Amino acid sequence: MTAMADHMSPMTPAEFERFAAVESETVRLEFIDGRIGVEEAADGDHGEIIMWLITQCMRSRPDLALNNTQGLKVEKYREGRARPDGSLVPVGHFAGQGEWADLAGVLMTVEVTSYDSDTGRRDRKEKPRAYADVGIPVYLLIDRDACTVSVFSVPDPDGGRYRHKHTVTFGERVSLPEPVGIELDTEILKNYVR
């Protein structure tokens, strides 16, 4: 299956949630920009990057948790539903919330690019727009194709974009601004690219 399938007939978030609840565990479904997105299960390197980032966050900010399974309601962005590769929140924040959580309290979302044809549209264009539009303070993009880490911050109050973008190549250090306040040494990321 390829990464993203377009579904252009009208669908409500509730209809999408019922559909997503019965889908296979070998794909991840999202509802972004009025389209159902289908992403294949991640490869081992993708998983290693997420585990590395979880460890870095735990060491630097034990008061926060990087959750890599929680779906988010990106309501302002066409009543969407997104499954980030990670959502940084206060420990225990998602307790009691369903499969699709409210955005209040999400400090950062993370995406790691996949080796598929739609990662450019999905991770580099649609996701930053969706996350900025709903006011998530920081978006971290780990781009395995370009061997870069990009930090998007300060959502524009008018929505739709981040005011700041800082990009470094794998091997450099990068600071994640407040409210995250973590510095990452990205040298290890060189081990997880093709």
Taking the mean position of all CA atoms in its chain, how far away is CA 42? 13
- pLDDT over 70 percentage in the chain: 74
124 or 87: which carries more pLDDT confidence? 87
31 or 182: which carries more pLDDT confidence? 182
Whether the pLDDT of residue 71 is over 80: the answer is yes
pTM of the model: 0.79
> Given this model, what pLDDT does residue 17 score?
64
Give the alpha-carbon dihedral of 123, 46, 30, 159, to 10 degrees: -30
Domain ranges of the chain: 43-192
**Which CATH topology does 43-192 take?**
tt1808, chain A (3.90.1570)
